[in-house]
Each structure stands twice: as C-alpha cells, then as structure tokens.
Chains A and B, each alone.
Chain A
C-alpha cells in the first residue's frame, strides 16, 4: 500500500463519511429530544430522490437541494405527527417512513422520468462542483502534509464542508444555548421541562424539523455530490449505519464525527479491496462491510464503554390531566 493509496482512501473516507455524519447529527437532535428515529434511511432516500429529480428538471443543484430538504422535512413531520401529536409508537412510525420512502421514490421516479426508477444523469450545474481549499495548490509540494491537505481534505463539494462544520455547530447549539439545554432536558425528563413552563411538544417538533433539515442535506449530497443522480434504494443502509454511529458515539457530536469517519473509512476500504490481506490473515470484504454493525453491537452490549440512550427516548409524553 503506497502513500498515494492512503491519500486516496482518506479522500474517499471523507466523501463516504459525509452522508453518515449529516444523518448521524440529524438523529442526534431527534433522539436527544426523546424522539427515537429509525427512519433516517427513508428520509435520506426521499431527499436524495427529490434533490436529484428537481436538479435534473431545473438544471440547478441549489433548487434541487431545497426540494430535497423540503421532502425530508415533510417526512419528518409525518414522524412528528405520529410520535408527538398522536403519541404513537416511534419505532413503528420509523419503519413506516422507511417503506414509504422506498416505495414512493420508485413510483414517482418511474412516473416522471420513465427510466426504470432512476433520474437522468446529472451534469454541470445540476451537480455540486468541487471546492478547492485556499492554498491547496501552493501547499501540495510540502512533503506528507501537502498532499494530505491538497488531495484528501481539499477538493470536495460544499456539502462535505457543511457536514464537518455541522459538528461544532451541533455541539454549540446543544451544549451552549438555552434551546440546547431544554432540548436535552426534554429527552431526559420531559415532565420537568413541562413543569418549568416550556412546551414539550414545541421543543420536540423543533428537534424533528432540524432532523429533517440535516437528513435532507445528507440525501441531497448522496444524489448530487457523491453520485450523479438517483438510483433505486441508493441509501443502501446508510441511515442504519448512521444510527449505529450515533450509538457508537453515545449521542455526542464530537464522538459522532469520529464514529462516522471510522465507518466511512471501513466503507472506503471495502470499496477498494475485495479482500484485505493483512499479511497474517486475509479479511473477507463482507466482514469489513459488517464491521460497523458488529462494533455497534459490542458497544451496545456494554463490554467496551456502555452506551446509555437519552432516558425519555421512545416514550410519548402524556401531560397529566
């Protein structure tokens, strides 16, 4: 494995980690407010479709992005309606959202484009272009760090940088603002928040909306940044890997960054090598792909640092009458 290989793997790690990271932070907001969300996958998928479809029709990736976010927010509102307003089962609602997205995207794709449940390939302004970080060219000559900066960190689309900036932003909102304090409180003890005269329902809806916004970005990045158009089931379990990363990160933003980079790295490695030869043993590709899930189960089992979810997660809040 040469230095160039390492740079290329790091480059694709960053690209593959971005949708995971955005979806993971989305789940972080939702679950910290006490709304469990296993529908991240569906929301990403519906955002991926609408961003690609609208970008293909209008020729503008920015209008596509807005459409993708709007679609994910609508799905978030369905989840909110079921789990906050009607106090239904949040897990079942999440399952329904995933299927609704899987079915609707194919249905609408076939109706709009008749290209076998995909959108036309996006070109030019209908995709996100790459951005070179300042001094990337000038610094590329510096040994070791130069290529790392110029080839791995620089030259991604804007949503990649948005994703990485969303980490400190999430940390700030959750841990340094009044809104964040209340949001975390409502996920631990909604009764206390209610007693303090703050609306539980409004806070949870706010969290669910932020979740929709971020999954919208994640889905739009998948279809207009990472790929050039929508294909059926293109999220391919990323929503669940993001969920795994969220548990792996124990519902904390900075840990989420490292978890997503790790899982992105595993994806990048398995994309590149069909079997991983470590000299002593050969690791099959299937194992590398399953590793995020296995690691998450190990973490959940509590043998290596226990993951404790927000206490009120999954339970609808019933005000005493």
Chain B
C-alpha cells in the first residue's frame, strides 16, 4: 500500500526538500554578510530576466539534462553511476575526434556523427565498470570514481601529446567551420525573434529528444521494463528470466552514452575545440538533477533548467556582489543532501501526517 498519494511523492516532497536547501543556503548567505532576498533577486534576474540570461540558463541546462538522464537511467536499475564526469570527458574525446577527422561540409551531417561519437565513447567508458559490477561484483560506485580520475589523466596525456595543437595551451586545433552548430541567436533570427549572443545552440533540441527517448525507453519498451524490474528487485527479476548481467551492462551503456552526449553541447556547441576541463563538474550536477527529478525525464528536464538557472544566477551574483560563484556548489550540495540523503527526515513525518488525515474521514462517513 502506498503511504503517500502520488502527487505528494512527485511534487510535495521535492518541493519541501528544495525549500529546506534554499533556507539553509539563505542562512549561509546571511552569515557572509549579504541580504539573502537581495541575492535571490539578483540570481533570478540574472538567470531569467533577459534573453541573455535565458540563453546561458538553457545552455547549462542542456549539459545537465544529459548528465541527469545518465544518472537517472542507472538509478532505475538501482546502479549509482557517479562516473558521469569521466564518461562525459570521454564523450568529449569522441566528439572531438569526429569533428576533427572529417572536413565536415555542413553541421546537419556533423551533428549526427558527433552524437554517435560522443555516445559511443561515453558508453565505452561506462562499459568496463559495468562489466566489473556484473561479472566480478566490484562495486560500481568505486570503479566509476576511479574511472573519473583515469579519464582526466587520459585527457591530460592526449592534450599534451598526440592531440595538442601548435602553441602553448593544452588543447586541440579548432574544429572545422562545417562542424559549427548554429546558435539560438542565429536560429531565432531566421523567424525574426531577437535573441542575445549566448552559447545556447541546437543541442538543446537534442537534449529534449534525449528526454523523450529515455521516457520511451523506460516506459514503452521491454528493455525499459526489464531495467525497472531489475531495479525494484533483483531476485524477482532474475526469477522472471531477466539476466542481471545483461541489464547491468545495458543500463550502464545507455547511461554512459547519455553522459557522453553532453560533449555535443559543451565541446561542439560552445568551446569548438577539445580542452582539458570541459565537463566542469556537470557530471556531478547530474546526480543532484536526477535526485530532484525523481529519475523521470520530465522531472530531470525541470530540475536541469532549475540548476541551469542556479549556475547562471550564481555567475551574476559573483559579478554584482562579493558572494563567490561557489555559492552554487553549496546550494547544489544542500539539494543533494536534502533530496537524496536526508529524504527520510521529510518523508517520515509526512507519511505519518498523511496517514492520520486519510484515516479520519473513514469511520464517521458524512452524516449529511
């Protein structure tokens, strides 16, 4: 029996958790000598007060959609993929190799190829931890953490060696002009909408497609059903003839592939060359996004936009006040803490009060 109505589980608890995280963040802001309400106004204005703000917000959100979906798919199989960071880095390598290997005539050809490249490399980086979890029982959290560090070492090695462009900086040469994705400014200008110059580009639409694709996969296909069944109860799934090895591998491959897709937005859409720190913690933001979005694509999309707004608002906050950008990291930590680890703190009392309220009407059926 469900102790909570669905709307409370899907909307009320995340809202309370988010409110708690924001209240504690407000206290932190007060302690470092700023007015939290003023800070909030600056952040909201900076994030959604102009097309410039929206552009950055949705650009960041696109990154977080991919990494959030990656964590969410793994969550459905009860696997905690903490390696989104490394998988996204490998994805960036895949995207860069695709973009650099062919003199692309037009972005419509380069984009699908880059999507395949990023997804393949990201999935490959998730494959080894997945195999070790499925076959050897090595804990996937630890192996994916290790693979994050190995990935960044690999990228450092390649960028000061084989892939390095002439010059001082450890980065590749610029991608060919044909691999440049059109920005939101250019796309919207065609239909006559003025939009500021921001890194927001067509990958945002790829992100929306990915959300829809994950929904289709998880709730409309046999594989999705098997992944969810496996996540709910491994023995039951095994009894129903679902292979744990197959599901662990496939769930992690999809997860890694989604994380790898982030590079299409960040590397191909924005930086237009491969640099060392191209993920910048987005892999970890994915954890917060998946937790807040309750691992559902719609939730992930909403949470990703929220976090995109936080990142853009945080940058504006640093610009206008003395509060450093790391305020966003604190808020992100508190969201993870309250929605993920301290969930029971909110859920327990709430379940009790819902039980009390739902019991009351039953014995005394309305007398009217």
Contact = CB atoms under 8 A, between A and B. Distances in A.
B291 to A, nearest CB: 7
B340 A93 contact: yes
A308 to B, nearest CB: 9
Interface string B310-351: 000000000000111011111111101100111111001000
B139 interface: yes
Interface of B: 28, 31-33, 80, 82, 128, 132, 136-139, 141-143, 145-147, 149-150, 153-154, 156-157, 160-161, 284, 287, 291, 322-324, 326-334, 336-337, 340-345, 348
Contacts of A193: none
A294 B150 contact: yes
A286 B156 contact: yes
A86 interface: yes
Contacts of A237: 149
Contacts of A83: 341
Contacts of B323: 107
Contacts of A107: 28, 32, 323-324, 326-327, 330
Nearest to B323: A107
Given A82-B337, A103-B327, A38 B32 contact: no
A302 interface: yes
A188 interface: no
Nearest to A101: B333
A276 interface: no
B284 A95 contact: yes
A229 B56 CA distance: 35
A99 B33 contact: no
Given A107-B324, A108-B32, A293-B146, A92 B287 contact: yes
Given A103-B332, A107-B28, A300-B138, 7 more contacts: A88-B341, A92-B291, A96-B337, A103-B327, A104-B326, A117-B326, A293-B149
Contacts of A286: 153-154, 156-157, 160
Please classify how large the interface on chain A is, using the bins under 10, 10 to 19, 20 to 34, 35 or more.
35 or more
8 contacts: A82-B342, A92-B287, A103-B329, A107-B327, A111-B322, A296-B146, A297-B150, A300-B142
Contact of A104 (B80, B145, B330, B340): B330
Contacts of B142: 243-244, 247, 296, 300
Nearest to A297: B146
Interface string A89-126: 11111011111101110111011001001000000000
A297 B132 contact: yes
B333 A99 contact: yes
A87 interface: yes
B139 A300 contact: yes
What 3 pairs across the A-B complex have the smallest Cβ distances?
Answer: A103-B329, A99-B333, A93-B341
Interface string A35-53: 0001000000000000000
A108 B326 CA distance: 10
A88 B340 contact: yes
Best-surrounded residue of B80, B143, B153, B156 (most CB of chain A within 10 A): B153
Nearest to A81: B342
B292 to A, nearest CB: 12
A97 B340 CA distance: 12
Best-surrounded residue of B32, B326, B341, B343 (most CB of chain A within 10 A): B341
A89 B79 CA distance: 12
B344 A86 contact: yes
Given A99-B284, A110-B322, A111-B32, A297 B147 contact: yes
